[in-house]
Structure 1
């Protein structure tokens, strides 16, 4: 999903400096509903201009976290800083101007069917009380940014799902926010449309320096555009780091499970033959990244360790311009296994013995 879709745009509108490196800072955030703990002490930061992906399964706490960020939910304890200001204890009146610094993009678009595309985009500015001429000029600028100038007078019912989401993105940018919250924004879209929307978000981030917090349950979305990822499970951040590093060496079980859909897995016909005891061959899972994945690892291994070591599945991908790979090797049980594992670990690979097979795979 590295496709780059770039709409024709007007001169970019620059967001005013915030005076702080952290656009978002959460400290020990806790929120419970009855006996159920939705958030169990979440702490994280989002730097100005970065895209942070927050990923987790349904019920992990993602929605509650979003609602605490935009002030719709009050935490039981902990602090929520937006551009250096703690918001969790502000009155509703004091929250209003801060909410304008946060744009929201929703899964189901939330467009008003009775209004035209340009009127939907300009709605936040109408609520602010801006003159019609100014808000229509801003709407036109943003529709050009998202590639929908020709749809300004159309109504949402005539738009495709991807076009509706582009309108939603334009509307979220209307008030020149410092932070864009994307809440499962591509979940209702087909894969091709998803690629175009993610490319648009990446382009907006690059052009405007806009900070984006992306909430999703799809690891492919994180892989496509995020700089960092935080994995949330049962209301806690269980893992956090640069996307390529998390892909290369996931520490938690939930992260490994989420990665399972997009990382190479041992084919079922081989996995079904694995046994615990000795056999003709041992199957190794080898994870490599960075420098370990750039060099001629397998040819060097063949030159250093005797025996017919074979690649049975896997390959090298690129995440954030870093090579990240998973290889499945068959090593003869007759000799060379310990030497093979030692060689791979010495090259920086992570090696796991999956089991043995009775005959060639």
Structure 2
């Protein structure tokens, strides 16, 4: 059997009401326990053709177990895992082999064979699948061109930089023309500049090939940069899911807000340390805005409606997928007992989320 056998040729049962041509991944109530520890506790998730889905969570949340269940290295205790409409939970180890060729894998530490050249590393999955040498080397050279390493075909991994090694890893993951690409912390061992170049490459591959990508990561900047949707895992459960810009702008759970806090403006530490819950000279308010409200002249309107009602302390406007969102910290004088409430009412009436963080003297 050659490496280009489609998973749809494998006998299996697609979930009712879904399209095999559109839905690449479907997880239904997936559970996996290790002893008394529920690593996955009822995970349900879909990824459609051409989507980039980020899966984020703290260490121990269940991300690694999830990816091992997706590529068949772990067997779920309960639930269904569909890859291109085929439930892999019902397959034997032999039946899993051709389906695994439909899943490419990018690793954190590259996992290249040091004794093989770059082109031989890329061609290795095709060699294992029984593709003739001429065919697999042609495919390897095509992929090295795609990832910008055509001139490194005869080099060995030892002479490559970390970013170049990861590009080889990406080329190898694409060798068998997968429908799904799994990225397991693929940029966490790289410096920021190299990370940006790898993310740009993954986005280009997604665009050119229409490839579905699942990003397992703890790096919020990775999700923000290229993911279309994000799922947040905590204690083996998905606690929040949706378009990245919406989740980023308006997190609904404490764990999500905590994860994204690393890349959202925070109140400067020297001010935060002074805050008290006892009323002081100024109330410090955090104001979150998304969509049209983030682009409007909101504070100019506030100043016109309530002169001298606030001063801007910190914050800014950003964009994800061309959608604006903003976070500002403002100080409102407390000499008028009703002023903070008036400012809050004015802002919330215009779709802002407002929270009083404390008081500053």
Across the aligned residues of Structure 1 and Structure 2, the Cα RMSD in angstroms comes to 1.5
Deviations along 1:161-181, whole A, 9 cap, x unmatched?
Answer: 000000000000000000000
Query: 1:58 is matched with which residue?
Result: 59
Matches within 5 A, 1:245-324: 245-324=246-325
Q: Distance in 1 between matches of 2:183 and 2:144?
A: 18
Q: Distance in 2 between matches of 1:307 and 1:337?
A: 12
Normalising by structure 2, report the TM-score: 0.94
Q: Does 1:355 align with 2:321?
A: no
Q: Could you tell me how far 1:328 is from its partner in structure 2?
A: 0.2
Does the 8 A contact of 2:39 with 2:62 survive in 1?
yes
Query: 2:106 is matched with which residue?
Result: 105
Query: 2:234 is matched with which residue?
Result: 233
Deviations along 1:83-126, whole A, 9 cap, x unmatched?
Answer: 11100121000000100000000000000111000000000111
Unaligned regions of 5+ residues in structure 2, if any? 1-5, 9-18
Residue 24 of structure 2 aligns to a residue whose secondary structure is strand
Query: 2:347 is matched with which residue?
Result: 344
Q: Distance in 2 between matches of 1:316 and 1:81?
A: 40
Matches within 5 A, 1:1-361: 19-335=20-336, 336-358=339-361
Does the 8 A contact of 2:41 with 2:237 survive in 1?
yes
Q: Could you tell me how far 1:274 is from its partner in structure 2?
A: 1.0
Q: Quick check: 100-109 or 255-264, which moved more?
A: 255-264
Q: Distance in 1 between matches of 2:191 and 2:132?
A: 38
| Regions of 4+ moved over 3 Å | 15-19
Residue 150 of structure 1 aligns to a residue whose secondary structure is helix
Q: Distance in 2 between matches of 1:132 and 1:30?
A: 41
Does the 8 A contact of 1:60 with 1:234 survive in 2?
yes
Q: From the superposition, tell whether residues 43 and 172 of structure 1 become closer, same or farther in structure 2 (CA, over 3 Å).
A: same
Does the 8 A contact of 1:111 with 1:168 survive in 2?
yes
Q: Distance in 2 between matches of 1:329 and 1:172?
A: 48
Deviations along 1:119-152, whole A, 9 cap, x unmatched?
Answer: 0000011111111111111000000000000000
Q: Distance in 1 between matches of 2:89 and 2:109?
A: 27
Unaligned regions of 5+ residues in structure 1, if any? 1-14
Residue 88 of structure 1 aligns to a residue whose secondary structure is helix
Does the 8 A contact of 1:29 with 1:79 survive in 2?
yes
Deviations along 1:158-204, whole A, 9 cap, x unmatched?
Answer: 10000000000000000000000000000100110000000000000
Q: Distance in 1 between matches of 2:44 and 2:192?
A: 32
Query: 2:3 is matched with which residue?
Result: none
Residue 94 of structure 2 aligns to a residue whose secondary structure is helix
Q: Distance in 1 between matches of 2:190 and 2:52?
A: 21
Does the 8 A contact of 2:7 with 2:86 survive in 1?
no
Q: Distance in 2 between matches of 1:270 and 1:151?
A: 52
Normalising by structure 1, report the TM-score: 0.94
Q: Could you tell me how far 1:357 is from its partner in structure 2?
A: 1.1
Residue 261 of structure 1 aligns to a residue whose secondary structure is helix
Q: Distance in 2 between matches of 1:340 and 1:89?
A: 59
Deviations along 1:53-97, whole A, 9 cap, x unmatched?
Answer: 000111110010001001110011000000111001210000001
Does the 8 A contact of 1:179 with 1:210 survive in 2?
yes
Does the 8 A contact of 1:288 with 1:350 survive in 2?
yes
Residue 347 of structure 1 aligns to a residue whose secondary structure is coil
Does the 8 A contact of 2:7 with 2:84 survive in 1?
no
Residue 260 of structure 1 aligns to a residue whose secondary structure is helix
Does the 8 A contact of 1:68 with 1:88 survive in 2?
no
Q: Could you tell me how far 1:307 is from its partner in structure 2?
A: 2.2
Q: Could you tell me how far 1:16 is from its partner in structure 2?
A: 11
